[in-house]
Amino acid sequence: MLDQQRVREDTPGCLDKVFLDSAGSSLPPRPVVDAVVSHLRREAEVGGYRAAAERADDLAEVKASIAELLGARPEDIALVESATRAWADFFYAVPLSPGDRILITEVEYASNAIAALQRARTAGAHVEVVPSTPTGELDLEALHKMLDERVRVVSLVHAPTNGGLLNPVREVVDLAHGVGALVLLDACQSLGQVPLDVVELGVDALSATGRKWLRGPRGTGLLYLRPELARTMEPAALDLHGAQWAEESGYRLAPDASRFEFWECSVASRLGLGVAVRYLLDLGIDEIEQAVSARAEYARTELSTLSGVTVRDLGGQRSGIVSFTVDGVDPNVVRKSLADKDVTVTVSGRGSTFVDMSKRNLDGVVRASPHYFNTFEDIDRLVAAVAER
């Protein structure tokens, strides 16, 4: 069992206010904040290089912890500044020729879709959307029919930003690999709230952010690459960390996923990310999943008892994202009136997941995303605030 009292004491921001935006930017626990702040102080005392050298072991631990969480090896992880950066680093490294096809999901995150459209335009390739089933998940049969040897990459959003569903992963990987396509998993909304094992899932790459369910600092993200790709893929952009300049007219790529990193980074944030992942591993991802899912289900049940409120989550398997609308009220007005009552939620607008929102004729949904540090009373306060709005 999670020690709720301890995790709440570690999270001062959740004590007197209701914070329900871990899908946006969660509250980092106190040890994470301490790691970041103390490293910034140390940099001011001895300079950034010496401060980093003093923490070499802890810095190596960051990838080791992430690898443990993902069931991967540390050398298959690249540390970057965001999920989008990670996603793009992989995507822009996939060679594309005229006529090649890129498949995306109906719930594709806008940044991914925009990158796909840009590359399709410059390479003469095509972006196609794999339809969803009536219950919201990616339609495996439709995918099967769409796949051929021109499909280079399938971008799969595991948990969409605008609702509570979880997409199937292993099934998509098996189908895509049948035609030699790569699968890039956007795990930005799933890593840190559901168990993920990259070997079991078989994905070629996975992108995620630090600040959402992992409760890490802002400006952190990670890319996992299948070992063979970490050794062989050439990133679109390199520096003296991703490659070595050892002869005048040539360079040698780093032997592992660090070829996808640049040398400069916020060392303080990186240390904070390491502490966040270790904190999560100590609590246990299975316990976290249970706690998140119980809170989200409770919120869905209670919100749907309110007249004029519609819970918008699709899917048979659910994440911790709870999306809803209030009849005749702009979601931003709902968000604002909840904020006035110290209940923090956010709004997911049409532009973030354009295809899905357009299909469902929604301009925006209110998004509440409880984490394990939330109490059931927090959910009651959310529901009361929505009822009063």
* From 11, 65, 82, 369, residue interacting with ligand PLP (rule: CB under 6 A): 82
Output the smallest distance, CB 87 to ligand PLP, in A.
7
Q: Is 106 among the residues that bind ligand PLP (CB under 6 A)?
A: no
Among the candidate windows 36-44, 76-84, 252-260, 336-344, which touches ligand PLP by CB under 6 A?
76-84
Output the smallest distance, CB 5 to ligand PLP, in A.
30
**Could you tell me which of 60, 76, 70, 68 has the C-alpha nearest to residue 233?**
76
> Nearest 5°: phi and psi at 152?
-90, -40
Per-residue three-class SS string for 22-76? CCCCCCCCHHHHHHHHHHHHHHHHHCHHHHHHHCHHHHHHHHHHHHHHHCCCHHH
CB nearer to ligand PLP: pick between 188 and 230? 188
Output the smallest distance, CB 212 to ligand PLP, in A.
6
Q: Is 83 among the residues that bind ligand PLP (CB under 6 A)?
A: yes
CB nearer to ligand PLP: pick between 112 and 258? 112
CB nearer to ligand PLP: pick between 83 and 127? 83
Q: Which parts of 193-212 interact with ligand PLP (CB under 6 A)?
A: 209
* From 79, 157, 184, 277, residue interacting with ligand PLP (rule: CB under 6 A): 157
> Nearest 5°: phi and psi at 276?
-60, -45
Among the candidate windows 127-135, 153-161, 248-256, 296-304, which touches ligand PLP by CB under 6 A?
153-161
Output the smallest distance, CB 363 to ligand PLP, in A.
18
* From 189, 258, 369, 374, residue interacting with ligand PLP (rule: CB under 6 A): 189
CB nearer to ligand PLP: pick between 289 and 356? 356
Residue pair 21/345 in contact (Cβ under 8 Å)? The answer is yes
Q: What amino acid occupies position 248?
A: E
CB nearer to ligand PLP: pick between 67 and 104? 104
Angle in degrees, 0-180, between the axes of helices 110-123 and 83-91, rounded to the nearest 10: 20
Which of the 8 DSSP states describes residue 209?
Answer: E
* From 19, 91, 109, 213, residue interacting with ligand PLP (rule: CB under 6 A): 109
Among the candidate windows 157-165, 272-280, 338-346, 376-384, which touches ligand PLP by CB under 6 A?
157-165
Strand, coil or helix: what is 97? Answer: coil
**Could you tell me which of 84, 103, 78, 69 has the C-alpha nearest to residue 199?**
69
The backbone region for 172, taken as left when phi is positive above 0, alpha when psi lies in -120 to 50, beta otherwise, is alpha
Residue pair 347/168 in contact (Cβ under 8 Å)? The answer is no
Per rule CB under 6 A, count of chain residues that contact ligand PLP: 13
Strands (E), the chain: 18-19, 77-80, 101-105, 126-130, 151-157, 182-186, 205-209, 221-225, 243-247, 250-253, 309-311, 322-326, 343-344, 346-349, 364-368
Output the smallest distance, CB 232 to ligand PLP, in A.
26
CB nearer to ligand PLP: pick between 103 and 188? 188
State the Cα angle at 361 between 356 and 367, rounded to 5°: 65
Output the smallest distance, CB 2 to ligand PLP, in A.
24
Among the candidate windows 46-54, 77-85, 173-181, 363-371, which touches ligand PLP by CB under 6 A?
77-85
Q: Is 221 among the residues that bind ligand PLP (CB under 6 A)?
A: yes
The pairing of strands 151-157 and 182-186 is parallel
Strand, coil or helix: what is 146? Answer: helix
Among the candidate windows 40-48, 184-192, 268-276, 277-285, which touches ligand PLP by CB under 6 A?
184-192
CB nearer to ligand PLP: pick between 209 and 293? 209
* From 161, 193, 266, 293, residue interacting with ligand PLP (rule: CB under 6 A): 161
CB nearer to ligand PLP: pick between 194 and 385? 194
Which of the 8 DSSP states describes residue 293?
Answer: H
The backbone region for 361, taken as left when phi is positive above 0, alpha when psi lies in -120 to 50, beta otherwise, is left
Beta-bridged to residue 368, according to DSSP, are: 322
Which residues of the shown chain bind ligand PLP in the complex (CB under 6 A)?
A: 82-84, 109, 111, 157, 160-161, 186, 188-189, 209, 221
